[in-house]
Structure 1
Amino acid sequence: MKFIHLGDLHLGKSLGDFDLIQDQKYILNEILELIDKENVDALLMAGDIYDKAVPSEAATNLLDWFLSRLSEKKISTYIISGNHDSDDRLNFGSSLFSSNSIYISAIFDGKLHKQTLKKETEIANIYLLPFVKASQVKHYYPEAKIETYDDAVRTIIDNSEIDEQECNILVAHQFVAGKGDDPALGGSESAGTQSVGLVEKISYDCFDKFDYVALGHIHSPQRVGRDEVRYSGSLLKYSLSEANNEKSVPIITVNGKEKVKIELVPLKPMREMRHIRGNIKDLLAKENVKSPEDFIYATLTDEDIVNDAMGIFQQIYPNTVKIDYDNSHTRQIEQVDISRIAENKSFSELIGDFYRMVYGCEISEEEMEIMRMAAREAGVANETN
């Protein structure tokens, strides 16, 4: 019995000013082709289906298109909500969907819901655990000692009837850590995920009763603690920090209680995200320009600021997302002790020092007045000199 494990689709997400709906449809179509090629029986979708609690029309249309194609292919599909999803919106129509073998668990109601998939003599139990907080679980189990997310998830599992003699798969959307190791972040996760504390962490051994655990929440594909507890990662690179990461999708083969087989299939996006570095003349020389439709993050090594660098770049690479600099001026700034810069200095002195450090000359009075006006409008400075 074969499963594909997806997580963190974030349908409707953008990259800077660039809409990603077409990129998302392209990669979902790759998944549909992979389902046909590998004779996949079921799909596990581990939360953060949408990027926002109130998804755009384009995002909902894209999910509708994808689920319709899955239904046409008779693929059993198991979906949970993530922290980005609106439980009610994702859960809408779940009863109707289930008649087409699309099972959605978006609202935690005190139970760990189970669906059973049968193929000839094989049986697999799929348990669906939507994103939960400790306070939600405590509401249903007031007598239990629940202080952390780990306590909460263990309470849910302990109060579920799980036959360990059968093949059991869990789909969950939580921050799961190994022994002494946190999962490696992709960089495009929410600020809350990137600053998660001890209270929110769940130990991977919480899931010992399960043969495979399909996780969502972290955008970098990886195992946690053991091979069978795994983040699929996001299908696309949603942050510039992911430019050098490789995306893949796990294909899971189960056969009763035999060891689970996991194959990671690389994904090729419609437009790659690349980080290029050098002086602007070399980077944009005809012989060096490759795949101009890619998303580009450029680090310029020119010593002088290039006027309208973004406009120049986007003539060649129309999907340039960001440009920054790495030169003697920026390296000098990096070595400055920020904590001492503002000691006993006025706003004008600070701006003057910064301008001098970057450009090697004095700021004009006209430019200084513009900076004062901007600071006053932003509410960060009240002085006039």
Structure 2
Amino acid sequence: MLIIAGDIFDRAGPPQTALTRLRDFLVRATANPGLAIVVIAGNHDAAAQIGMLGVLAPIEKALIRGPLDANDLPMMLEDEHGSVAISALPFSYEFAARACFDAEDISCPADVIAAQVNAARDRVPAGARWIVVAHSFVEGAAPTDSERSLSRTVGGIETISAEIFDGAHYVALGHLHRAQSVGAPHIRYSGSPLAFGFDEEGQEKSLTLIDMGADGSIETTAIPLKPRRQARTIRGTLEELVAAPVGSEDFIRVVLTDETPQIDPMKRIRVLYPNAVQLSYERAERTLEEKLGEGRAAIDDPETLVSDFIEFVRGEAPGEIDTQLVNTLIHEARQEIEA
């Protein structure tokens, strides 16, 4: 069985070439008599579009889910140990989940996933091992800079607890780009097959192979992926970089160490590095220590931090009553910490 846990595309309106490529992939994959496939929509995808592509695949071999469905049934597979139920939970924002589950109290991503998991759990046959496929941000997982927020509420909490998946023997997660387990060994992100930002430079990309035992226990094996083009950073003066004997078609971030601005540097860089996509000067970059220092300063001044947040949300500075309330609550919190 092949599982793709969302973010099939990088945007809700992908080009026709991308749609055609996915169609051709589904046709080839489902033509394999020994392969079942599970695909869900992620937060980058258009749910209806992913759902419509599901009509191309035979229902007994493919579970492709775009829009939410409160009455969705799991795919049932059989192996030498018995039955396996696979529940596919596509990503959804809160407003769509409230309509689907007729529950007005759904107010955050955790509520959405909880409603999906509870509905799916009720449809798992007794004695079957249970696999959940979902697209979410589990507490404790390590993100990268490339993921888009799962919450449409300013200041909203987008993470969910791993405990939501209680009862599942394996949870195949999408959304985060770093391959990792979180909360428990059987709750795992396979990660993205390619680097989508330079903060992912040096990450080992892989597929995750899962072997499930008769009791639902799992063993994982990482299958390395070697992309044709890596994301990496080169650093030096412009003259040093353009004098390199060999270029590269990798995706390149250029950091120039020149003390003065150079004339048309990207054009010269792309002679050797045609896929250079970002250029900056070292003298203009803040160091990690400087960034951490700014963060520590904000934590040490919670009154200003909260005031700035209120102004960002409302579009206006907090009033006198708001400020007094915030200062009172912070004072009480400090007293509790010191007690």
Q: Same fold (TM over 0.5)?
A: yes
In structure 1, the residue matched to 2:254 is 298
CA–CA separation in structure 1 for the residues paired with 2:250 and 2:115: 46
CA–CA separation in structure 1 for the residues paired with 2:168 and 2:61: 22
1:269 has 2:227 as partner? yes
CA–CA separation in structure 2 for the residues paired with 1:176 and 1:311: 42
Q: Tell me the TM-score normalised to structure 2 length.
A: 0.76
CA–CA separation in structure 2 for the residues paired with 1:263 and 1:229: 14
* Secondary structure of 1:61's aligned partner: helix
Given residue 274 of structure 2, which amino acid in structure 1 is its aligned partner? Answer: P
1:317 has 2:277 as partner? no
In structure 2, the residue matched to 1:175 is 137
In structure 2, the residue matched to 1:131 is 91
Residues 228-239 of structure 1: pairs in structure 2 closer than 5 A: 228-239=186-197
Q: Kindly indicate whether the alpha-carbon contact (under 8 Å) linking 1:147 and 1:199 is maintained by their aligned counterparts in 2.
A: no
Q: Kindly indicate whether the alpha-carbon contact (under 8 Å) linking 1:123 and 1:256 is maintained by their aligned counterparts in 2.
A: no
Q: Kindly indicate whether the alpha-carbon contact (under 8 Å) linking 2:151 and 2:158 is maintained by their aligned counterparts in 1.
A: no
Structure 2, unaligned runs of 5 or more: 295-339
Given residue 26 of structure 2, which amino acid in structure 1 is its aligned partner? Answer: L
Bigger RCO of structures 1 and 2 (CA < 8 A, at least 6 apart): 1
Q: Kindly indicate whether the alpha-carbon contact (under 8 Å) linking 2:82 and 2:128 is maintained by their aligned counterparts in 1.
A: no
Deviation (angstroms), 1:140 = 4.2
Identify which range, 80-89 or 145-154, moves more after superposition: 145-154
Aligned CA distance change for structure 1 residues 322 and 67 (closer, same or farther; 3 Å): same
* Secondary structure of 2:123's aligned partner: coil
Given residue 73 of structure 1, which amino acid in structure 2 is its aligned partner? Answer: N
Q: 1:49 aligns with which of 3, 8, 22?
A: 8
Q: 2:41 aligns with which of 78, 81, 102?
A: 81
Q: Kindly indicate whether the alpha-carbon contact (under 8 Å) linking 2:165 and 2:171 is maintained by their aligned counterparts in 1.
A: yes
Aligned CA distance change for structure 1 residues 81 and 134 (closer, same or farther; 3 Å): same
Deviation (angstroms), 1:77 = 0.4
1:166 has 2:128 as partner? yes
Residues 315-354 of structure 1: pairs in structure 2 closer than 5 A: 315-327=271-283
CA–CA separation in structure 1 for the residues paired with 2:222 and 2:181: 11
Q: Kindly indicate whether the alpha-carbon contact (under 8 Å) linking 1:162 and 1:209 is maintained by their aligned counterparts in 2.
A: no
Aligned CA distance change for structure 1 residues 196 and 293 (closer, same or farther; 3 Å): farther
Q: Kindly indicate whether the alpha-carbon contact (under 8 Å) linking 1:272 and 1:295 is maintained by their aligned counterparts in 2.
A: yes
Q: Kindly indicate whether the alpha-carbon contact (under 8 Å) linking 2:81 and 2:214 is maintained by their aligned counterparts in 1.
A: no
How many correspondences in the alignment? 289
Given residue 13 of structure 2, which amino acid in structure 1 is its aligned partner? Answer: V
Give the RMSD, CA atoms, in angstroms.
2.9
Structure 1, unaligned runs of 5 or more: 1-41, 339-385
Aligned CA distance change for structure 1 residues 282 and 86 (closer, same or farther; 3 Å): same
1:167-194 deviation per Cα after TM superposition (whole angstroms, max 9, x unaligned): 11011112221xxx3x222222125579
In structure 2, the residue matched to 1:255 is 213
* Secondary structure of 1:92's aligned partner: helix
Q: Kindly indicate whether the alpha-carbon contact (under 8 Å) linking 1:110 and 1:156 is maintained by their aligned counterparts in 2.
A: yes
CA–CA separation in structure 2 for the residues paired with 1:128 and 1:326: 46
In structure 1, the residue matched to 2:201 is 243
In structure 1, the residue matched to 2:237 is 279
Q: Tell me the TM-score normalised to structure 1 length.
A: 0.68
Q: Kindly indicate whether the alpha-carbon contact (under 8 Å) linking 1:127 and 1:169 is maintained by their aligned counterparts in 2.
A: yes
The percent of aligned pairs where both chains have the same amino acid is 33
